[in-house]
Amino acid sequence: MRPKNLAKEEAIRSIALQIISDEGLENLSMQKLAKAVNISPRTIYIKYENKEDLLIKLFIQEVLANYEKAVLENFDPKMGFADGMRKLWLNTFHYLKNNKPSFSLIQYGKSSPLLNKAFQEKNIQQGEFFAPIHSFLKTNVEAGLIPDLPHDVHRALLFSPIQDLVSEYFDHLDRPVQIITEELILTCCEIVIKGITNQKNNEQH
């Protein structure tokens, strides 16, 4: 790709993410994006079929790798369950609260076919990303510390709450008091840890 085209491509992605951050994903349109980049809509359609195609490519190019890297920073799948969960939750919170466009795309992907289409486009198999977390959960299941459940169920129980808390963080940015703090994140994480480990212990009584 020629330098001029590369710069144009970077501008399209950067400004698209900025619109998502400032105005919400629902207010991103190809026409608005073209005007903001100062190019014709036709130029964008040469690279992207439609808005959904743009979002899929943004998710692949701007979110997946960066999100995984941030969440796994200083995480070791051999950590104790509680320590590992705290690290994953704090890493997730710190990354997402500073990357609102990425959070918007992740949330959009949860309620649309975006994630599946992105994975299909890149031929990504389940477990290929966040493999250390899969290993971490498997180790703790085998040790009898947490229940043996499908991976998607573990993800819903253990990591969906932090996504909801980040959503509350953004909701409270425009309110007088920010209720979502690192301390609260850790408190909620402890509740989740206690809940899932107690569930296993209770089954043994």
Where along the chain do its domains lie?
Answer: 1-48, 52-203
- The whole-model pTM stands at 0.81
Contact between residue 27 and residue 107 where contact means Cβ atoms under 8 Å apart: no
pLDDT at position 63 is 81
Q: What is the mean pLDDT of residues 58-85?
A: 91
Cα Rg of the chain (Å, integer): 19
Give, in words, the CATH class of 1-48.
mainly alpha
pLDDT band at 32 (very low <50, low <70, confident <90, very high): very high
| 107 HSE (CA, 13 A, CB side) | 21
The Cα 76–Cα 80 span in angstroms is: 9
118-151: pLDDT as tens digits: 666 666 554 456 889 999 999 999 999 999 999 8
The CATH architecture to which 52-203 belongs is: Orthogonal Bundle (1.10)
Which among 130, 10, 4, 112 is positioned nearest to 55, based on CA atoms? 112
pLDDT at position 1 is 45
Alpha helix ranges (H) inside 143-181 = 151-158, 160-171
